[in-house]
Amino acid sequence: MADFPERSSTPDAAGGSLAGGILLVLFALLTVWLSLRMPIGTFRSAGPGLFPLCLGLLLAALAAAHTIRTALVIRRAGERSKRSRRESSLKPVLGFMAAIAFAAGLLEHVGYAPTACAVVFGLLQLLGPRFWRRNFILALAAGTVAHLVFVQWLQIPFPQGWLGL
């Protein structure tokens, strides 16, 4: 994966990073559009669309900055944008989108805590070193802490699903 296109060894890596950035911008815009279809509320009394809107705008800004930066690096180096199957950021971006779609589809049925654990575990496996035991413990800890903070302490009602968590 090419985290820094200017340091990548092949032109294909920078082209893949550019394609990944464009996909993230499109995903962010879709998130913003879908969140605007829900009640936004205010910061004092947040509706269900407020936080997805904020996260979508943040993702759009960061993805746009990454895409512009990568395009400038490609332009400066005189490279052509090509897709690479070996070194590209398309696989993590598509995996990220699949994890978010998984979470959206199962959140109501399974509940927040198990869905959060599964998504964190999947993203850790996809984006980081594949240490199963460590990633499982981190995902379990993240889901548990999120449940304790949001549901128990702040008393924000999250979907419980058929497990009741």
What is the pLDDT tens value at each position of the chain, 165 positions in all? 444 444 444 555 666 777 888 888 888 898 888 888 888 887 777 788 888 888 888 888 888 888 888 888 877 776 444 444 444 567 777 888 888 888 787 777 887 888 888 888 888 888 777 788 888 898 888 888 888 888 788 877 777 777 666
- Phi, psi for 41 (deg, rounded to 5): 75, -155
Q: Which two tokens stand for residue 27?
A: 């995903």
- Burial grade of 130 (CB within 10 A; 0-12, 13-18, 19 or more): exposed
Candidates 76, 97, 94; CA nearest to 14 is: 76
pTM for this one?
0.49
